[in-house]
Structures are given as structure tokens and as C-alpha cells.
Structure 1
Amino acid sequence: MIDDAIRVLAGDCTVIAEADDRQEYRGRVTTIVKPDNTVLVHDIDGYQPVAWLTRADSVSSDRRDGFTLVAKKDTQTLRIAAHEQDGFAHYPSSAAGTPVGTCPDCGSALIRSNDVHCVGCGDRYGVPADATIRDDQCDCDCGLPKMRVERGRAFNVCLDRNCESLDAAVKEAFDREWACPELDCDGDLQILRRGGLIAGCEHYPDCDTGFAVPAGVVDGECGCGLPTFETASGIRCLDATCERALEGTVTADSMADD
């Protein structure tokens, strides 16, 4: 489903903006009401609106005589009244983003913004912020692109988590691979989803040790015994607060040299 409609109202209008003061305009203007209740009033000059209200608490309109529109936010009020109506319409809208493929259901473009969504049917797929959308398609018959995500290693999985689960791939690779670092605990770290992916002790709640799995690939072992990850910001321990990070770290390259 498309996010919502953008409303467009055009005509010879009086525009009154009230906040700390009162400003009144008249002219042939076009008013745009976005799905988040942002109201923009444009005239012929420049790119900046002559009046606007960002994310209004309420927007109401009436079309009985031309049209009127009232938007309110806290102590601010924006009123638009048409003396002569040129147009009043609703247009489907969605977030704009980078094209990453074709929707297998309707043939429209798949766009990446905060997620990946279809501009036609509105199907959407949540993706991690660090994911890279690939050109190749999923191995099954869904027709969707794959994404590359680094969580301990690089995984190439389908956009649709119901088709191919990133969680399952990370769990298969790293579940119980690392021992809980608590001295009085003999548990292993399981791969779990608690908000995000974590490596958490199997003895929870008796042991509440847990670490968010970072975006990066395992490249060695920290001095504390946990793995280190090569990330976009550098090498770090699985435990982001580790004071022994990089002290006595064994890397994959040093192990290869041995």
C-alpha cells in the first residue's frame, strides 16, 4: 500500500499565518499538504514557501465554498481560504530513494530509503542500515534482490526475511561459538534477537551477559577471549566496553603466519 496521499489545493487564496504575530497574504498559490501534516504554501517566486507549518497537530479542510484549510500546531495557526478555486486533488505518494530492483509482484521499481519498498504496490522490506543491495536475485522463486550484510562474516540473503532469514544464517554460523566471559559462568553465547542481534549467555536470566553483534567480520580474538570484529570504524571487541581490546589480540593474519 502506498504511504498516503499528498493533497494539492490551488487558487486565488488568502493566507493567514498566526504565531507570535499575524501575517496575511493573498495571491494565486498552491498549497501542498503532506502525509505527515506538513503544510506548504507556494507562490510563483523562488523555492521557499510563502507560508508553512511543519507536522501540524491537526489539519482540517472544507470544500463547500471553494475551499478552506486550517492547520494548527501548539500556538501556531495557518489558514488558507480560496476566493476562486483552480484545483483540489489527492495524489498517491511514497518515500523517494535509490532504485535497487524491480518488484516481482507488480513490475514497479523497488526503492531504498529507510527500508526497501515498491512504488507501485507498496510492498516493503526492512533492511539493516549497513546492508548493501545486490544485483543478483534470490535463489528461490520470489524474484527479489539479495542483500549483503556483515554480522561476523558477510552474508548474502534475500530481502524478504520470511524467504531467507539473516538471523538464522548468523545463528547457524556463530551460535555457541564463544564462551561466556563471566568467570563464574560455564555457559556459551547464543545468537538471539532482542531488539537487535545479540550474543547472549545461554544461562539467562541467571547470567545476563550479552553483547550486540556489530556490523563487521570476525578477524581475531581479543585479549579478553571474545572475538574481535573488523568494522567500518576500525577493529573492536565483541564487548564494546572491553578495556583489554587489542591487548594481546590474535588476528586472522597472525594465525595464518604461524
Structure 2
Amino acid sequence: MIDDAIRVLAGDCTVIAEDADRSEYRGRVTTIVKPDNTVLVHDIDGYQPVAWLTRADSVSSDRTGDFTLVAKKDTQTLRIAAHDQDGFAHYPTSAAGTPVGDCPDCGGALVRSSGVTCVSCGDRYGVPADATIRDDQCDCDCGLPKMRVERGLAFNVCLDRACESLDAAVKQAFDREWGCPEPDCDGDLRILRRGGLIAGCEHYPDCEVGFAVPAGVVDGECACGLPTFETGSGIRCLDATCDRALEGALETEPTADD
């Protein structure tokens, strides 16, 4: 079940916003409190709230008689007091995004926002920003869609990393594929997860060489000896700081001895 909910408070209210200045309003308004403690107070005009507080540190409310609500963040305080209450309710909420399939657990819609979320049961799956959600389902019995992700090669893997691991697929393809470029190091680059996927020297921490694996496919070799990747923004070296001439490396034809 989805635990997150939006609180909606409506009525004839006094609204006081305090920071360096103090502003006071009164009118029939609707107050929305989002799960991240963002508070928005709307009146009849336009889309802009008359008062708001983004991601408050605390939000407290009292429904004894007509409701009151106090939201605080650092030096900011937003106070709302109802003189005549029209309504006070909680509504379930979820991420809103592009539909990408059906949830195999509950049959609800899967949508893509920052990740992939079921709008009914709340199941969530982390998805790389550059991933493409495919129409075909995973080969196992999980029933989830597959995603296409470029990390040296184009990989088609399940949305659920516990079902089919993108890390494992990249590691199988490129672990120890390239040598460490440090002149005094004879190590190989291993595929590791350190915040993101990296190609890092096996002799860490003695050798701290490591490169984020870019979103793209390997298409050649840089003059520095590392692979080049074809990405959405062009050709680049695995080492994003490499200042050697990629053009020369790409134009050099291999000899019979290479």
C-alpha cells in the first residue's frame, strides 16, 4: 500500500508568513501539505500560491475545533488558522510519470518519473536516467518490463536489479578488459560500484585510478590507451579529463602487427 498522502485543508483562514518580514492574509483558501512537508496555500486566483514553505523541517496541526497548522523551516514560519472549516482530508498520492507497463504484483499502472513506480501499490524501481524502458518483459517470471542501458555495450536487463543485475552484466563484459593507465602500475581495471559504476584499479587503495563508466558504447581506443565511448554528446575517452588527441587516435588505422 502507498504510505504517502497529501493533506488538504480548506476554509476561511488567516495565513501568517514570518521570516525577515511578516505577511498576513485572510480568505477562503485551500492548503496542501505534500509528503515532503512542502506547504502550499492557494486562493481563487491563478496558479501561484499566496503563501508557501518548501520542505519544511516540521509541520504540526491541531484539529481541536477549527484546524490550525504551523510549518517551520530555519527562520521561516507559516501559520494557518481556520475561522470556518470547509474540509480536512488525507488522499493517497504517488509519483506521476509516463506509463511504461502494468505492475505484476497488483495490476496497477507502472509510470516513469525519477524511477519507475506503481501508482497503486507503490512498488519502486531505480532506473538510470539514460535508460529506455522496453515493451518486452523480463525472461524470468517477475513480469516486469526490461530496460535498455548503454554502458560500454547496449544491455537489455530487468527493471528489478535483484532479478537481473546491470552491474553483473557490465562486469561480465568489461572486468579486467583494460589496463590501469598509471605508468608505474601493472594492475587491471575492475568494474566496481562506488556510488556509480566505475572502472577502478585492482590495486586500490595503493593505486587510486578510477573512472566513471559513461553512458555510451565503446567504439575505439584513445591515444592514452583507454577506450573511447560514443555518447549522446559525442566521442569521449573513458578518462573524462583526458586531453590527448582523440581525433588522431580514431583516425589511426591498425597495422598488421597490432
Q: Shorter-chain TM-score category?
A: over 0.9
C-alpha spacing 1:183/1:51, structure 2 compared with 1 (3 Å): closer
- 1:221·1:251 contact (CA, 8 Å) conserved in 2? no
Query: How many angstroms apart in 1 are the aligned matches of 2:81 and 2:179?
Result: 69
Matched-pair identity in %:
87
**1:93-148 deviations in whole A, cap 9, x for unaligned?**
12211111111000111111111111111111111111111111111111101111
* Letter in structure 2 aligned against 1:95: A
Residues in 2 aligned to 1:43 and 1:250: alpha-carbon distance in whole angstroms: 61
The answer for the alignment partner of 2:6 in structure 1 is 6
1:6-45 correspondence runs (5 A): 6-45=6-45
Distance 1:185 1:33, change over 3 A: same
Indicate conservation of the 8 Å contact 1:125/1:159, yes or no: yes
SS in structure 1 at match of 2:135: strand
Question: In the alignment, residue 107 of structure 1 is paired with which amino acid?
Answer: G
1:3 offset after TM fit, Å? 5.5
Report the CA distance shift for 1:251/1:198 in structure 2 as closer, same or farther (over 3 A). farther
SS of residue in 2 equivalent to 1:171: helix
* Aligned counterparts of 1:74 and 1:227: Cα–Cα separation in 2: 48
Q: Distance in 2 between matches of 1:170 and 1:54?
A: 39
Q: What is the match of residue 231 of structure 2? A: 231
State the partner residue of 1:65.
65
C-alpha separation between the residues in 1 aligned to 2:245 and 2:229?
11
Q: CA deviation at 1:26?
A: 2.1
**Superposed displacement of residue 196, structure 1:** 1.1
Q: Give the aligned residue type for 1:153.
A: L
Q: Give the corresponding residue for 1:146.
A: 146
Report the residue type matching 2:170 in the other structure.
V
Counterpart of 1:134 in structure 2 is 134
Q: Give, in angstroms, the shift of residue 17 of structure 1.
A: 2.1
Unpaired segments ≥5 residues, structure 2: none
Question: Could you list the runs of 4 or more consecutive aligned residues of structure 1 that deviate by over 6 angstroms after TM superposition?
Answer: none
Once the two structures are TM-superposed, the CA of residue 186 in structure 1 deviates from its matched residue by 2.1
1:251 Cα offset (Å)? 6.8
What does the per-residue CA deviation read over 1:163-205, in whole Å, with 9 as the maximum and x for residues that have no partner?
A: 1111111111111111222222222211111111111222223
Aligned residue for 1:105? 105
Alignment of structure 1 residues 45-124 onto 2, 5 Å:
45-124=45-124
- Partner of residue 210, structure 1: 210
Secondary structure of 2:248's partner?
A: coil
Q: 1:199 and 1:147 mapped to 2: Cα distance? A: 22
Do the aligned partners of 1:29 and 1:42 also contact (CA within 8 Å) in 2?
A: yes
* Residues 1:191 and 1:148: Cα distance change in structure 2 (over 3 Å): same
Name the count of aligned residue pairs.
Answer: 254
Tell me the distance in 1 between the aligned counterparts of 2:12 and 2:164.
55
CA distance in 2, matches of 1:77, 1:212: 42
Instruction: Give the TM-score of the pair, scaled to structure 1.
Output: 0.92
d(CA) in 2 for partners of 1:26, 1:204: 63
Give the superposition deviation at 1:51: 1.8
RMSD: 1.8
* Partner Cα distance (1:167, 1:112) in 2: 21
Whether contact under 8 Å (1:115, 1:124) holds in the other structure is: yes
Do 1:106 and 1:120's aligned partners in 2 also have CA atoms closer than 8 Å?
yes
Q: What SS does the corresponding residue of 2:246 show, helix, strand or coil? A: coil
Please name the residue that 2:179 is paired with: 179
